[in-house]
Amino acid sequence: MSRISKLPPEQWSEELRTFAAADSATLIEQGITRMLAHAPKAAMGPLQFGAALVFNRTLPERLFELMRLRIAFHNQCRSCMAIRYSSAADSFTEDDVCSLEQPQEADNLDAREKLAIDLGERFATNHLSIDDAYFDTLKAEFTEAEIIELMLHCALYVGMGRMAALLDMTEELPEGFQKPFGEMVSPTADTPVKVR
Give percent above pLDDT 90 in the chain. Answer: 87
- Residue 150 pLDDT exceeds 90: yes
For 18-47, how does the pLDDT look when each residue is reduced to its tens digit (9 = 90+)?
999 988 888 888 999 999 999 999 999 999
Domains: count for the chain: 2
Question: Across residues 67-92, what is the average pLDDT?
Answer: 93
Residue 64 has pLDDT above 90, yes or no: yes
Backbone angles phi, psi at 172, to 5 degrees: -95, 0
Q: List, in sequence order, every residue forming a beta bridge with 83; answer none if it has no partner.
A: 193
Over the stretch 151-173, which tens digit does the pLDDT of each residue have?
999 999 999 999 999 999 999 99
107 and 139 fall within a common domain: yes
Cα separation values, 195 from 139, 150, 152, 192, Å: 33, 22, 22, 10
Strand 83-85 with 193-195, pairing: parallel
- Helix, strand, or coil here: 182? coil
Residue 92, pLDDT above cutoff 90: no
Q: Which of 21, 41, 56 is the last residue of a domain?
A: 56
Residue range(s) defining the domain that contains residue 92: 59-165+186-195
Helix, strand, coil % over all residues of the chain, rounded to 5: 65, 5, 30
Shared-domain flag, residues 51 and 21 = yes
- Surface-to-core class of residue 57, CB atoms within 10 Å of its CB (0-12 exposed, 13-18 middle, 19+ buried): middle
